Amino acid sequence: MKDTKTYVEENKQRFIDELIELLKIPSISANSNYKDDMLKTAEAVKKSLLEAGCDVAEINETPGHPVVYGEKIIDPDLPTVLVYGHYDVQPPDPLDLWENPPFEPVIKETRIHPEGAIFARGACDDKGQMYMHVKALEYMTKNDKLPCNIKFMIEGEEEVGSEHLGWFIEHNKEKLKNDVILISDTGMIAKDTPSITTGLRGLSYMEVEVTGPNRDLHSGLYGGAVANPINILCKMIASLQDENNHITIPGFYDRVKEYSQEERAKMAEAPFDLKEYREKLNIDEVHGEEGYSTLERASIRPTLDVNGIWGGYTGEGAKTVLPSKAYAKISMRLVSDQDWKEISALFKDHFEKIAPKSVKVNVNTHHGGQAYVTPIDTLEYQAANDAYAEAFGKDPIPQHSGGSIPIVALFEEELKSKTILMGFGLDTDAIHSPNEHFGIWNYLKGIETIPLFYKHFTKLKQAEK
């Protein structure tokens, strides 16, 4: 019987090789051309669960991409941990900015990762962090260290809004019954500063289409006399934020939770170096909502970002066209207690209202999810805290993340259990960006820490009785 540290040390090369194989499959859920690769990835995850010790592992069809389910039940009377993760990844574009092909993983050292980091799409988000849990299970089963029951629910639609996971949960409530949900799909403040994510932002993702004339026109013959849908779209988007970068959609802030000076002061204690932040992004100034710090803007405040815009002639050279249509993908990060369906409706309503009569607009909702905040005075949080303390030799800092895992709020609602977000990635891992990577140290540290959560959680649960 080995302790986690030793076992991880002895098997690290295999752990890395196995993850690299998984990263080679381009499981891009947003693009229907990759349907087969999605299935291949699901199969690989299922196989790895069985090898790691699951008694049962299966691929569950949904109306969309399948969900991989696995379980090892050692005693129905013991507590059950449900691990959630996702095997799908973000589209890799823009491809030309990758230093290596996104699905041909390479290991490179970086300043922050002297032990090397695996560069590939999905390395951190979420294949790498999901696979930590598979290897943690392997450790626990191989070394007779599994103190409770364990279930896995690994989905393939997280990057496209978990469209059918709600459907899957509704149809499998009994099967998914658990005492706590464990997720590694967030980050930690720094390698020497473990943290537990206690807040997530919600999301409302919209797509708009602005139509001017019924065909592309010659900008000389019609320019100045007919509404140009690109100019109009720019004016409409510009008007969505005022000079203080406040969002102007009526009712947008109605439900936004305001934090007390004390709470804000506590958050401000998290280590943060604005100069280094700017230098890493090569920007002269940050930019955001008046009256809030950068950390607050990126965590407890809602946002409105254009994720994509296109229209007219975008090729080489010049084309003097007055286009018929212009498009934009616009997403809003939401905070508690905003309701994403309400915000999507407010956006659609407002965007249609501000459109001049000279154009027609079409507004559609892609997907969304609720914000999530978890209290830190719970048994579940305590167990996670103890696990980090044992692995890192210091207590983790509770932190709000700016990201969204739209499904987390639904878990509590449907499965009536708390969620613990144990993230091991770093903000600098470039998830969703070219050259995404995951530090080998972080990967192994995660595999080492996770079993400790099982130990402390089971202990605390038993003590409750």
Identify whether the C-beta of residue 440 lies closer than 8 Å to the C-beta of residue 434. Answer: no
Tokens standing for residue 42: 């699901």
Strands of 61-121 (E only): list them.
67-72, 80-86, 106-108, 117-119
* Closest CB to a copy of itself among residues 232, 450: 232
* Closest CB to a copy of itself among residues 167, 222: 222
Length, in residues, of the chain: 465
Token look-up 């405040």 returns 301
Rule CB under 8 A: choose which of 60, 294, 378, 382 binds a copy of itself. Answer: 294
Helices 4-23 and 127-142: crossing angle in degrees, nearest 10, is 140
Rule CB under 8 A: choose which of 145, 297, 348, 461 binds a copy of itself. Answer: 297
State the Cα–Cα distance between residues 437 and 341, nearest whole angstrom. Answer: 33
27 binds a copy of itself per the rule CB under 8 A? no
Rule CB under 8 A: choose which of 146, 430, 444, 447 binds a copy of itself. Answer: 430
235 binds a copy of itself per the rule CB under 8 A? yes
433 binds a copy of itself per the rule CB under 8 A? yes
The amino acid occupying position 302 is: P
| Window 355 to 374, contacts with a copy of itself (CB under 8 A) | 356-359, 366-367
* Closest CB to a copy of itself among residues 261, 314: 314
- Of 65-73, 147-155, 210-218, 408-416, the window that binds a copy of itself (rule: CB under 8 A) is 210-218
Binding string, 119-158, against a copy of itself, x = CB under 8 A?
----------------------------------------
Where b means 16+ CB within 10 Å and e means fewer, 212-233 reads bbeebbebeebeeeebbbbebb
* Closest CB to a copy of itself among residues 332, 444: 332
Tokens standing for residue 143: 């070394």
* Shortest distance (Å) from residue 438 CB to a copy of itself: 14
Tokens standing for residue 181: 């949900």
* Shortest distance (Å) from residue 378 CB to a copy of itself: 24
222 binds a copy of itself per the rule CB under 8 A? yes
| Window 378 to 417, contacts with a copy of itself (CB under 8 A) | 401-404
| Window 34 to 63, contacts with a copy of itself (CB under 8 A) | none
**Residues pairing with 397 in the sheet:** 195
Rule CB under 8 A: choose which of 143, 219, 378, 382 binds a copy of itself. Answer: 219
Identify whether the C-beta of residue 395 lies closer than 8 Å to the C-beta of residue 385. Answer: yes
228 binds a copy of itself per the rule CB under 8 A? yes
State the Cα–Cα distance between residues 61 and 58, nearest whole angstrom. Answer: 10
**Residues pairing with 60 in the sheet:** 67
Size of the site for a copy of itself (CB under 8 A): 104
CA 156 to chain centroid, in Å, comes to: 13
351 binds a copy of itself per the rule CB under 8 A? no
| Window 157 to 186, contacts with a copy of itself (CB under 8 A) | 159-161
313 binds a copy of itself per the rule CB under 8 A? yes
314 binds a copy of itself per the rule CB under 8 A? yes
* Closest CB to a copy of itself among residues 48, 162: 162
* Shortest distance (Å) from residue 326 CB to a copy of itself: 7
Rule CB under 8 A: choose which of 177, 246, 432, 459 binds a copy of itself. Answer: 432
Token look-up 């692995």 returns 391
State the Cα–Cα distance between residues 338 and 104, nearest whole angstrom. Answer: 40
State the Cα–Cα distance between residues 14 and 153, nearest whole angstrom. Answer: 24
190 binds a copy of itself per the rule CB under 8 A? no
* Shortest distance (Å) from residue 308 CB to a copy of itself: 4
State the Cα–Cα distance between residues 422 and 407, nearest whole angstrom. Answer: 16
* Shortest distance (Å) from residue 33 CB to a copy of itself: 9
* Closest CB to a copy of itself among residues 72, 127: 127
State the Cα–Cα distance between residues 396 and 386, nearest whole angstrom. Answer: 9
**Residues pairing with 439 in the sheet:** 117
Token look-up 């389910």 returns 69
